[in-house]
Amino acid sequence: MLSILNLAIFGLSLSTATILQNGQPRPSNYPDTRIDPNASSFRTYPADAPEISYKGRWDSKHVSWWSAPGIKFGYTGQTVAISFGHLTSPGVLIAYRIGGLDWTFTNVTARGTHLLVSADTPGSSLTTPINPWTFEMRVTNWAYGVQIDSIHVAAGEKLVKLPDFGRRIEVIGDSLAAGMYTSYEGLSSWAYGLGAGLGDTEYSITAYPGICAADQDCWGNPRGQVHQWFYTSDTSYRASVAYGDNPEPWDFSKRPAADIVVINIGTNDQNAANNVSTTVYIDALTKIIQGVHGKWPKAHVIVMSLWLGFYQSGNSYFPGASQGFVNEVCQMCKWFNSDDYLRNQTIYDGVTKKISRASGRPEPFVHYFNTSGIMQHNDIGPQWHPTDVGAIKVASHLQQFIRITFGWDLLATGPEVFHDTLYWNDQSGY
Ligand SMILES: *[C@@H]1O[C@H](CO)[C@@H](O)[C@H](O)[C@H]1NC(C)=O
Ligand SMILES: *[C@@H]1O[C@H](CO)[C@@H](O)[C@H](O)[C@H]1NC(C)=O
Ligand SMILES: *[C@@H]1O[C@H](CO)[C@@H](O)[C@H](O)[C@H]1NC(C)=O
Ligand SMILES: *[C@@H]1O[C@H](CO)[C@@H](O)[C@H](O)[C@H]1NC(C)=O
Ligand SMILES: *[C@@H]1O[C@H](CO)[C@@H](O)[C@H](O)[C@H]1NC(C)=O
């Protein structure tokens, strides 16, 4: 959801902004990790080395898009450095870590080489653990991206290809999923918390602030998800500079199919400023689901109900009067699971705009996730987005829904998921 005020953000998309938490500037003096690559003796791997696993959407030039994209690999030795290409956004904040230890952060720069793991990095010199060491990096902000130029380890050491986890989640959404206004943005979003929090799960977050389901301009995003989900890049200003009107279609054969696709889209469609009718919205959402069904015939789809903030009335708070297309979305979910759809099962291919018939009779695959009652009024910040706590609640409830509905065990039993959420009271005596 976006107010007119937030519109400015899209115009500014490539300048570094101060991030406020509770009205105070968030500390952003992250350690400077830049080094002179010529002063070190490295073994260097190009961006397309098969040992590097890319997470989320990256284009053919190894530029990252959408929310919380990342890379992961195993390595030997105690050194990992990354050289970033010229298409890297200025000062973009990345998070990185060894294994499941806490995330650390640094701002990186186009054409810079950054030393991210050395003997001093937390966990680097432990002697008993996971072999090989795993390194993971994520881009925190949805408007920014990095380009991987090359990866370096110490001379005589090597990168190790890590197998992918066996479970996959895709989240399709807008600012609410992208992590707008949470502390670490994508890395504090409920979408990331869902994927990382389930553990042993690959996740990709195809979400961008302001975007509608309907294929039209919403808050400066030129296209809607019914179109853009089929493409590698998002609807940012950065993407318009990189591609103009010719983005790379996403090559769905690059990765295994998602098992579960979580969709939270429509908050911008229901905003009167964008003038999307209910019919146009439902048609777009239907086509997104038909698109998912066409690309990944066995995927289950979870459609989340929208939440639109709270208002005070008398001595308590209540959800906003319009909760956003509730009846129509419920009806659409029922239609997908009815014989009408299941016998016919039409699928949509957003790139060529074809509606065609799939083969075989699928089982019902569309599930409705009722978000009502998960967040309370103070879980939504002044800019109408979940706070860090709100995001954690949404992620946790979704995890349980997925565990109960699909029998997925919760496999993250200790690694850090949400960073900087350790608030506690250690006053034992009064
Ligand atoms: C490293 O060496 C290359 C080739 O000699 C040179 O082009 C580059 O500017 C050097 N980089 C730095 C950071 O000094
Ligand atoms: C580092 O990134 C944060 C978050 O985007 C930003 O607020 C800060 O200005 C950046 N710092 C530098 C030195 O680029
Ligand atoms: C909103 O959409 C309707 C129907 O498509 C159109 O007639 C009207 O001019 C639009 N209004 C604005 C402000 O774009
Ligand atoms: C079957 O799909 C076609 C589009 O290919 C559509 O026109 C028709 O209404 C569908 N039939 C049913 C019963 O849904
Ligand atoms: C969602 O849950 C709330 C609270 O239990 C309930 O009042 C509402 O009817 C539910 N909505 C739907 C569409 O099932």
- Does residue 140 sit within a domain? yes
Please say whether the beta carbons of 196 and 203 come within 8 A.
Answer: yes
Per-residue exposure over 272-297, b if at least 16 CB sit within 10 Å of its own CB, e if not: eebebeeebbbbbbbbbbbbbbbbbe
Which structure tokens are listed for 42? 């490295």
Task: Please give the share of the chain, as a percent, with pLDDT higher than 90.
Answer: 79
At residue 47, does pLDDT exceed 90?
yes
Taking the C-alpha atoms of residue 399 and residue 407, their distance in angstroms, rounded to an integer, is: 11
- The string of pLDDT tens digits covering residues 254-309 is 999 999 999 999 999 999 999 999 999 999 999 999 999 999 999 999 999 998 88
At residue 430, does pLDDT exceed 80?
no
Taking the C-alpha atoms of residue 291 and residue 354, their distance in angstroms, rounded to an integer, is: 10
Which residue, of 133, 160, 187, is where some domain finishes?
160
At residue 175, does pLDDT exceed 50?
yes
- Does residue 68 sit within a domain? yes
- Does residue 286 sit within a domain? yes
Closest residue CA from atom 4 of ligand 1: 38
CATH number at 232 reads 3.40.50.1110
Which structure tokens are listed for 175? 């600012």
- The string of pLDDT tens digits covering residues 208-224 is 999 999 999 999 999 99
- The string of pLDDT tens digits covering residues 354-386 is 777 776 667 899 999 999 999 999 999 988 999
At residue 13, does pLDDT exceed 50?
no
Ligand nearest to the CA of 331: 5
Taking the C-alpha atoms of residue 85 and residue 62, their distance in angstroms, rounded to an integer, is: 9
What's the gap in Å between 362 CA and the centre of ligand 2?
48
Taking the C-alpha atoms of residue 22 and residue 382, their distance in angstroms, rounded to an integer, is: 10
What's the gap in Å between 50 CA and the centre of ligand 5?
47
- The string of pLDDT tens digits covering residues 326-347 is 999 999 999 999 988 988 888 9
DSSP 413-427: SSS--STT-------
Shared-domain flag, residues 187 and 145: no
Shared-domain flag, residues 187 and 84: no
Shared-domain flag, residues 181 and 287: yes
Contacts of 427 (CB under 8 A, 6+ apart): none
**Pocket flag, ligand 5, residue 372 (CB < 6 Å):** yes
Shared-domain flag, residues 139 and 268: no
Phi, psi dihedrals of residue 270, rounded to the nearest 5°: -80, -10
Residue from 152, 150, 143, 148 nearest 210 by CA: 143
Position 129 confidence tier, pLDDT thresholds 50, 70, 90: low
Helix or strand or coil: residue 256?
Answer: coil
Closest residue CA from atom 5 of ligand 1: 38
pLDDT for the residue numbered 16 = 54
- The string of pLDDT tens digits covering residues 135-161 is 999 999 999 999 999 999 999 999 999
Shared-domain flag, residues 152 and 227: no
**Pocket flag, ligand 5, residue 257 (CB < 6 Å):** no
DSSP 232: S
- Does residue 265 sit within a domain? yes
Residue 135's domain comprises 31-160
Position 56 confidence tier, pLDDT thresholds 50, 70, 90: very high
Shared-domain flag, residues 98 and 213: no
Distances (CA, A) of 108 to 10, 114, 207: 21, 7, 23
Helix or strand or coil: residue 399?
Answer: helix
What are the start-end ranges of the E strands in 142-293?
148-154, 159-160, 167-173, 201-207, 260-264
Position 10 confidence tier, pLDDT thresholds 50, 70, 90: very low
Taking the C-alpha atoms of residue 186 and residue 171, their distance in angstroms, rounded to an integer, is: 12
Mean pLDDT of all residues in the chain? 91
Shared-domain flag, residues 172 and 156: no
CATH number at 61 reads 2.60.120.260
Say how many domains are in the chain.
2
Which residue, of 142, 160, 178, is where some domain finishes?
160
Angle at 347 between CA 346 and CA 350, to 5 degrees: 140
Shared-domain flag, residues 149 and 289: no
54: β partners: 71
- Does residue 226 sit within a domain? yes
Shared-domain flag, residues 122 and 149: yes
What's the gap in Å between 140 CA and the centre of ligand 2?
11
Shared-domain flag, residues 91 and 215: no
Phi, psi dihedrals of residue 243, rounded to the nearest 5°: -125, -15
- Does residue 1 sit within a domain? no
Position 78 confidence tier, pLDDT thresholds 50, 70, 90: very high
Shared-domain flag, residues 248 and 394: yes
Which structure tokens are listed for 174? 């807008």
Shared-domain flag, residues 93 and 217: no
Closest residue CA from atom 6 of ligand 5: 372
Which residue, of 99, 129, 160, is where some domain finishes?
160
Residue from 186, 122, 103, 232 nearest 391 by CA: 186
- Which residues contact ligand 1 via a Cβ below 6 A? 36, 38
At residue 109, does pLDDT exceed 70?
yes
Please say whether the beta carbons of 42 and 53 come within 8 A.
Answer: no
**Pocket flag, ligand 4, residue 337 (CB < 6 Å):** no
**Sheet with 148-154: strands ordered across:** 34-35, 113-117, 80-84, 148-154, 42-46
At residue 405, does pLDDT exceed 50?
yes
Closest residue CA from atom 6 of ligand 1: 38
pLDDT for the residue numbered 350 = 87
- Does residue 216 sit within a domain? yes
Q: How do strand 92-98 and strand 104-108 relate by DSSP bridges?
A: antiparallel
pLDDT for the residue numbered 12 = 36
At residue 322, does pLDDT exceed 70?
no
The pTM (predicted TM-score) of the whole model is 0.92
Contacts of 382 (CB under 8 A, 6+ apart): none
What's the gap in Å between 185 CA and the centre of ligand 2?
12
